[in-house]
Structure 1
Amino acid sequence: MSTLHVLSHSPFSDNRLDSCLRLLSGNDGLLLTGDAVYALQPGTTPCNQLQQRADSPQLFVLEEDVQARGLPVPQWIKSIDYPAFVELSITYDKVNSWL
């Protein structure tokens, strides 16, 4: 069973990203939204952790949130808009929002 994991909290304020990365399987996807996009700051531990997993689960970032924070989108993560987010959420068997 595949799961889309949705993170919206900064990886610098708690350990949700670390916990999520431990649970990801090869069929899962990870979508960064809100302040979770700060994980893409180049040279940071969260960015390095995500880049190491770039080949396994599908990695996505919400385009509007990354633009709002003025961050670059690395080539190894797919940037999506809100309609693609909706489509993505029905592609997976379930969606887990890390609140």
Structure 2
Amino acid sequence: MTTLHIFNQGTLQSALLQRCIETMSHKDALIFIEDGVVWATDSPLTSQLLGKAPQNAGIYVLSEDLGARGLSELKAESVAVVDYNGFVELTEQSQNTLSWF
């Protein structure tokens, strides 16, 4: 993986998420953490934005943050769930990280 994009902003920052997705390549990954986990839920806006992500780019959500916000049951099918260990593994596999805070 080339770059791991870390996104922690909520739904008021849809333009920032759009810019994040536009900068991604097919070798990149995106993980939603903190308030950003709302983007991992099954909604029309999420589908629209994540549908613009490059094919083969990994899309992940941090399970602990998803659960803390009571959103575990609402996760979109296109998003993979990882725990803290998985987050560390994604970080280790990437050449770069880019935080969208």
TM-score by shorter chain over 0.5: yes
% identity of equivalent residues? 29
Pair 1:64–1:51, CA change in 2 (3 A): farther
2-structure distance, mates of 1:66, 1:47: 17
2-structure distance, mates of 1:40, 1:60: 8
Residue 46 of structure 1: aligned partner: 46
The normalised TM-score by structure 2 is 0.84
The normalised TM-score by structure 1 is 0.86
Aligned alpha-carbon RMSD (Å)? 1.9
8 Å CA contact retained: 2:25, 2:54: no
Q: Which runs of 5+ in 1 are unaligned?
A: none
8 Å CA contact retained: 2:7, 2:100: yes
Q: Which runs of 5+ in 2 are unaligned?
A: none
Higher helix share: 2
Residue 31 of structure 1: aligned partner: 31
